[in-house]
Amino acid sequence: MSALHVVFKVGEVEYVLPASEVVELESYTGATRVPGAPPYVAGLVQIRGKVIAVVDLRARFGLPPKERTLDSRVIVVRHGTRLVGLLADSARDVVKIDSNEFRSPPEVVSDETEGFVDSIAQPNRRLVMRVDFTKVIGRQELTGSTP
């Protein structure tokens, strides 16, 4: 069964999340830092009247910081009753991927990525990695988001 996936870039790599989990994409104009939050939590933003914690994917994936551009996006994802933002270098594409196209990543990838990548696919000869959202957000540390 095919499903739409939102494609986003962090560094030079393309990742996907099921479009059914993505609420919206927003431009990134900065976040309010939260004292004591893990280094990969960019802070809090207000989007359409809701306060949302934002995870900086560059920091979470161990990449060096990069100046944010007009392409930088906050991908707002619903996780249960919470909204969480993922800060990506860009996000402008949606692709249809059949569920049987996803494969387990090579062992070295799954061992070294802290479980952030749960599977890979090659729609139209394009390599994308599907992230495990709950591992990326560090769910136990993000408790301040509102539904």
The torsion region of residue 115 among left (phi > 0), alpha (psi -120 to 50) and beta comes to left
Domain ranges of the chain: 2-137
Per-residue pLDDT of the chain (147 residues; tens, 9 = 90+): 889 999 999 999 999 999 999 999 999 999 999 999 999 999 999 998 999 999 999 999 999 999 999 999 999 999 788 899 999 999 989 999 999 999 988 877 655 556 788 899 999 888 999 998 888 887 544 444 444
What CATH number was assigned to the domain covering residues 2-137?
2.40.50.180
Report pTM: 0.88
116: Cα separation from own chain's centroid:
10
